[in-house]
Amino acid sequence: MSNATLNLNGKTYELPVIVGSENEVGVNVTKLRGTSGAIAYDPGYGNTGSCQSAITFINGEEGILRYRGYPIEQLAKQSSFVEVCYLMVNGKLPNQAEYETFKNTLTRHTLLHEDMKKFFEGYPRGGHPMAVMSSMVTSLSAFYPESDDPEAINLNIIRLIAKFKTLAAFAYKKSIGQPYIYPRNDLSYTGDFLHMMFAVPAEPYEVSPIIEKALDMLLILHVDHEQNCSTSTVRMVGSSQANLFASISAGISALWGPLHGGANQKVLEMLEMIQADGGDYSKYMDMAKDKSSGFRLMGFGHRVYKNFDPRALILKEAADDVLSELGKEDPLLDIARGLEDIALNDDYFVSRKLYPNVDFYSGIIYRALGIPVDMFTVMFALGRLPGWIAQWHEMRNDPSMRINRPRQIYIGEGARDYVSIDKR
Ligand code: SDX
């Protein structure tokens, strides 16, 4: 594709163009400041590519999401979370021997160093588990120091995927004052997490295959989403050559925000608020359209998807299936459906291309699975972990990558002299 041409201050600049494997076009501005003295300006980075990546492809107009080329619809129905973890980190689906080795290696690394249990003791019971997770993940670097040796990095990747679910379950048990349940090697990755979350020493806990399968699919749906806020944070921190654990910890903190992964908890709280208020969701739709209300329809809208979020379609169908398979009903699902029906026919939402996103229905399924609301975003982080790791690893192995250091347009005061306090 021919260069882009920029006319600026009476001069013309030729800017090279790059085209991706799905024909996405990028104007390469890496030399823009050096040649023209000007920078590109794009607050929120909605029109800026930070990297070239071979991990995840999204087409927001057509509602396409693929991990390493595989459509999310196929992976959600046919794969497993552990297999998708292998796919994201290694770039290909494992054969049977590779899968067994990977699965068994993860199983061997689920235990935490016993000294880490002391960290949990310092947290107040009501502390949000995302605060615990971000600090615990960073603390792993105190036990497993980083090295540039690829084998050491690969072992830390295994440790992180294996121990993250133990940290999450321990954080939950601490929050409810129950004893920690240790990992079991005879259970699947997801089954072991459920066991650590809900088993109690006094009685056996049988992992429900329905719940295990539903949670595994939920985790797959959250694995990666190209350069979203938290993944970009992981890359930003990792670009300084900060270690894997510190970089992922930063991603956990970014995900926590209610505009990002924290939205799944906010959706449930919103649905409960509407239910408590008599279920009159049209009142809340009016509030969502009134900027002065400060109310947003949580779980709606997306920077990239402008027709539908393919994950939301899968989750909407799964919500029905999981509830019926568990023999449960949830009035919040009816409220969610009513909100969606109104929004999809309301010009405010249609004109702004606001549709349900991944967070709109996920919370209803987590709730049906028995996951407490303040663990919803931890579940998002558990699912997103392999994507963050794959993106961090891709960046670290990219010889062209430099420390991320955006520029700015200064709008502050001009130069002025210091005045002593007695003269101000
Ligand atoms: C995730 O990037 C990713 O890939 C993220 C994610 C992933 O997998 O990593 O998909 C996960 O974070 C999903 C999004 C979860 N967040 C929410 O559900 C919170 C509610 N949604 C929004 O706050 C918002 O839609 C965002 C944050 C998702 C997108 O924000 P944008 O792209 O910056 O859009 P915007 O805020 O500029 O909104 C554009 C317009 C505005 O109105 P106008 O100024 O044009 O009049 O749409 C309005 C907004 O006020 N709008 C909403 C709305 N979302 C946008 N109005 C009411 N309710 C909403 N939810």
Q: Are 267 and 359 in contact (CB under 8 A)?
A: yes
- Tens of pLDDT, residue by residue over 195-254, are 999 999 999 899 999 999 999 999 999 999 999 999 999 999 999 999 999 999 999 999
Of all protein residues, the one whose alpha carbon is nearest to atom 1 of ligand 1 is 260
Say if residue 1's pLDDT is above 90: no
Task: Report the alpha-carbon distance of residue 163 to residue 113 in Å, rounded.
Answer: 10
Question: Which residues contact residue 186 at a Cβ distance below 8 angstroms, ignoring those fewer than 6 apart?
Answer: none
The number of residues making up the chain comes to 424
| Protein residues with CB under 6 Å of any ligand 1 atom | 225, 228-229, 259-261, 263, 288, 296-304, 352, 354, 357-359
- The CB density around residue 35, as the number of other CB atoms within 10 Å, is 14
- What pLDDT, on a 0 to 100 scale, did the predictor assign at position 336? 93
Taking the CA of residue 230 as reference, the ligand 1 atom at the shortest distance is 9
Q: Ligand 1 centroid vs 261 CA: distance in angstroms?
A: 12
Of all protein residues, the one whose alpha carbon is nearest to atom 40 of ligand 1 is 352
**Which is the catalytic residue, given 225, 359, 374, 393?**
359
Domain ranges across the chain: 3-59, 75-221+380-390
Taking the CA of residue 299 as reference, the ligand 1 atom at the shortest distance is 18
- Tens of pLDDT, residue by residue over 366-406, are 999 999 999 999 999 999 999 999 999 999 999 988 999 99
pLDDT band at 38 (very low <50, low <70, confident <90, very high): very high
Q: Which residue has the tokens 């670290």?
A: 396
Collapsed DSSP state (helix, strand, coil) of residue 385: helix
| Known catalytic residue at 302 | yes
- What pLDDT, on a 0 to 100 scale, did the predictor assign at position 280? 85
Q: Ligand 1 centroid vs 51 CA: distance in angstroms?
A: 23
What is the chain's mean pLDDT, rounded? 95
pLDDT band at 40 (very low <50, low <70, confident <90, very high): very high
* pTM score of the predicted model: 0.96
Distance of CA 318 to the CA centre of its chain: 20
Of all protein residues, the one whose alpha carbon is nearest to atom 27 of ligand 1 is 259
Task: Report the alpha-carbon distance of residue 77 to residue 80 in Å, rounded.
Answer: 9
Q: Ligand 1 centroid vs 130 CA: distance in angstroms?
A: 22
Distance of CA 264 to the CA centre of its chain: 11
Q: Are 315 and 308 in contact (CB under 8 A)?
A: no
- The CB density around residue 179, as the number of other CB atoms within 10 Å, is 11
- Tens of pLDDT, residue by residue over 41-92, are 999 999 999 999 999 999 999 999 999 999 999 999 999 999 999 999 999 9
Task: Report the alpha-carbon distance of residue 190 to residue 198 in Å, rounded.
Answer: 12
Ligand 1, pocket-test mutation among 55, 260, 285, 293, most atoms within 8 A of CB: 260
Q: Which residue has the tokens 């539903």?
A: 214
How would you class 222 by CB atoms within 10 Å of its CB: exposed for 0-12, middle for 13-18, buried for 19 or more?
A: buried
Q: Are 367 and 330 in contact (CB under 8 A)?
A: yes
- Tens of pLDDT, residue by residue over 136-192, are 999 999 999 888 899 999 999 999 999 999 999 999 999 999 999 999 999 999 999
Question: Which residues contact residue 312 at a Cβ distance below 8 angstroms, ignoring those fewer than 6 apart?
Answer: 355, 356, 357, 358, 360, 361
**Which is the catalytic residue, given 302, 309, 374, 393?**
302
Taking the CA of residue 360 as reference, the ligand 1 atom at the shortest distance is 18
- Tens of pLDDT, residue by residue over 278-291, are 988 888 999 999 99
Domain 75-221+380-390 indexed as CATH 3.30.70.20: no
Task: Report the alpha-carbon distance of residue 198 to residue 162 in Å, rounded.
Answer: 18
CA dihedral 99, 105, 111, 114 (to 10 degrees): -160
Task: Report the alpha-carbon distance of residue 5 to residue 22 in Å, rounded.
Answer: 23
- What pLDDT, on a 0 to 100 scale, did the predictor assign at position 105? 98
Distances (CA, A) of 384 to 10, 290, 366, 399, 418: 47, 33, 16, 25, 49
At position 187, the amino acid (one-letter code) is: L
Say if residue 125's pLDDT is above 90: no
| Known catalytic residue at 334 | no
Question: Which residues contact residue 357 at a Cβ distance below 8 angstroms, ignoring those fewer than 6 apart?
Answer: 263, 299, 300, 301, 302, 305, 309, 311, 312
Q: Are 305 and 357 in contact (CB under 8 A)?
A: yes
- What pLDDT, on a 0 to 100 scale, did the predictor assign at position 147? 84
